[in-house]
Amino acid sequence: MREYFTAGGRRLSYLDFGGPGKPLLALHGHYNEASAFAPLARALAPSRRVIALDQRGHGESDPADGYGREDYAADLLALHRHLGFGPVAVLGHSLGGVNAYQFAARHPDRVERLIVEDIGAVVDCDWSFTTRLPPPAPSRQALAEALGPAAPYLECAFRERDGRWGFSFGIESTVTSQKALNGDHRADWTAVSCPTLLVRGTHSDELTAAHARTMIAARHDGRARLVELPAGHVVHHDAPERFATTVSAFLAESR
């Protein structure tokens, strides 16, 4: 079910996949939106109730003036308050992964378990792909053909407006967001205190094996571990069944 709430004067949207299970807040990466987690929500039901946010400037959420680190964290805090939950599990992919561990570091009383999918503690994002995205096309199929092999990863964000097919995110705002994502976030990563699962795709072009292992070693509390699955950067897309099984097992563990 799609729901809306207001944060900072802007309307944000989220998908509540429902069910009796404990909540799992899910945060997508650039080029995606909440619906990207529909297969995971089905796989985790009924033990988990997945609630996925359309992050600012994505999906059905309003665009924003800023796309900085504090901006995204404020949106997640507003969502948590809106839902009225106690401590919850949070999962984030790429952009959403940094947002998730920064939220967990700053609000430890609100996050009981954390899953970070294929993003590092030091981020050096290349936004050249964004600037090469095709212009609006006359049909969904034409847009997919223009994207080529990348189409399956972006199709959840395809939108038709005025007879043309484009994306639910803006090109300029995405570049702004990607630039703001870059940086050294190791202090936030090491400040996380809850049990943490870092999931890396073995063919990822974003998170190297060496950096992932460094991240785990930097968590001196011993509460973080790494799982590598045969996938690229979007692990939940490339290896959906193994990703869901891994997430489910981690969430089922006792504290």
Please report, for the chain, the start and end positions of each structural domain, with discontinuous segments joined by +. Answer: 2-125+174-252
Backbone angles phi, psi at 251, to 5 degrees: -70, -25
How many other β-carbons are positioned within 10 Å of the β-carbon of residue 125? Answer: 21
- The mean pLDDT of 13-20, rounded to a whole number, is 96
pLDDT of residue 254: 67
Buried/exposed code over 102-118 (b: 16+ C-beta within 10 A; e: otherwise): bbbbbeeebbbbbbbbb
- Please report which confidence band the pLDDT of residue 99 belongs to, taking 50, 70 and 90 as the band edges: very high
Does the pLDDT value for residue 255 go beyond 80?
A: no
- Please report which confidence band the pLDDT of residue 191 belongs to, taking 50, 70 and 90 as the band edges: very high
Q: Is the peptide bond prior to 46 cis by the omega test (within 30 degrees of 0)?
A: yes
pLDDT of residue 77: 97
CA separation for the pair 110, 101 (Å, rounded) = 12
- Residue 19: partners with Cβ closer than 8 Å, 6 or more residues away: 45, 46, 48, 49
Homologous superfamily (CATH) of 2-125+174-252 is Alpha/Beta hydrolase fold, catalytic domain (3.40.50.1820)
Does the pLDDT value for residue 127 go beyond 80?
A: yes
pLDDT of residue 8: 87
- The mean pLDDT of 155-162, rounded to a whole number, is 95
Count helices and strands (H / E) in the chain.
Answer: 11, 12
Q: What is the DSSP letter of 121?
A: S
Does the pLDDT value for residue 205 go beyond 70?
A: yes
Give this prediction's pTM.
0.96
pLDDT tens per residue across span 41-96: 999 999 999 999 999 999 999 999 999 999 999 999 999 999 999 999 999 999 99
pLDDT of residue 112: 97
pLDDT of residue 159: 96
- Please report which confidence band the pLDDT of residue 195 belongs to, taking 50, 70 and 90 as the band edges: very high
CA separation for the pair 174, 177 (Å, rounded) = 5
24 near 46, Cβ under 8 Å? no
Q: Which residue has the higher pLDDT, 219 or 254?
A: 219
